[in-house]
Structure 1
Amino acid sequence: MENEDFRVDSRARVISILNGLRLERTRLTVTLEGMEEEWHTTLLKVDPEGDVLYFSLVGVPRIDERLHDGEPFQVSGVLRGVPLVMTLRSDVADGRWFASDILRVPVPDELLYMQKRESVRVPIHDPDFDVTLSFGDWRDVGQLADISFSGCRVVMDSSAVDGRLSAGNEATLTWVFPEASEAVEIAVRVVHIKASEDEAYIGMMFGKTDLRTQNLIDRYVLEKQRNACRVGRASLA
């Protein structure tokens, strides 16, 4: 039997991934009544709690009629490489519809990498969140600048980094997550370093992690994304 917590986390993670993509007139490939169809949709809104996607329907009369009958129906599909199973329901009779009960379908590693690569980065406004970056005999402390499911950026003093670290280096990132009682080490690959006179921003991709560490990363990123949504909502009120 599928673990319920895993199911909820997986769904929320997929929604967060989709929320970071540009979905203006994107292609949604679905399988309905045994036939594969390609729809052109626009993502209107993502529920910040990770349960519902709201779409605008463009030029699919057969589906449009069925949605406006008021009866929900389930489709499986692929949206930007993310396999989904979702229940479609009609909203107001203006061509809008929404998908709920969204479940993620198991995907191969290469698709997981594609999803992670396109996930949104979340700025961290916490100057006290220190991380330690080490490469060989060199190590120094910096602050987490932003993070996604696949990587992060760390800001350090330029003088500490200059000549000691470069793109392509395999390094180790050490930090203590809010949910963890002890430091967690993550293997990273340095992707780029953007340095000014005072600061250096080091972009890096996470390497392979164990399940516990990956869950810590996922939960932390999801919580930061939800907080960002709440702040955005409050600023518009």
Structure 2
Amino acid sequence: MSNPFVDEGGPQPPKVLSAPLEVFANLRQLQQNHDPLVITFKERSQRFQSYLVEVNRERSVLAFDELIPNDGERFLKAGEPFRVEAFHEGVRIAWECEDPIQIGELQGARCYWSHLPEQVLYHQRRNAFRAQLQLTQLIGVELSGSKLSPALKGQMLDISATGCKLRLPGDVTARLQPGQVYEGLRLQLPFGAMTVSAELRHLYYEEKTAASFLGMRFYRMSGLEQRQVERFVYQLQREARRSDD
């Protein structure tokens, strides 16, 4: 993103995309951007993470990477239907997989083949500016909670009124669970440290940088906390506009 602020507009009502080209284009976008998928099986509360490793319009198939944690494979083998949910730049994309999948390989790695869905739910939800921090502005963070001890330390890469993106050194994916609320997200903001609760929405590890990237959504913030975050985002917004002049 060249511009650190993108006005996403207000949230839009969800749309059902059924045109084959639209379905393919949105799933292909998830694959190309390596956006994490959250997979849930009907009648089960556990959540699994995966990625799209192939989207083939000619054959009308797609391939999922192995599930994290991998014990979810037994539900796939049993032919249990599941739901897939992903987020890309504030847009929620979701679909149902009712047909049994086929276990196979892609470029020597294990994967799960499925038919392209006939329709996907497309929901533009973000309604806040997202400020991308410059290298000189990166904010120190510490993430902890009842399900996470000891704490993990890293940096905040961007922030909006509703959430933020974090970078933590090393591969911490085994210690974190998408969908989990962590009560101790401590942000070292310029006007003082602040600790809030946040839900982990996205999680992936990038080997090239040897870092884990987390998409966090602020959870049940107080009015004071909300104002502090909005004040910081507004400050970044003004600084970015001045630098663009």
TM-score, normalised on structure 2? 0.46
Q: Which of the two has greater helix per residue?
A: 1
Choose 1 or 2 for highest CA Rg: 1
Give the structure, 1 or 2, with the largest relative contact order (CA under 8 Å, sep 6 or more): 2
TM-score, normalised on structure 1? 0.47
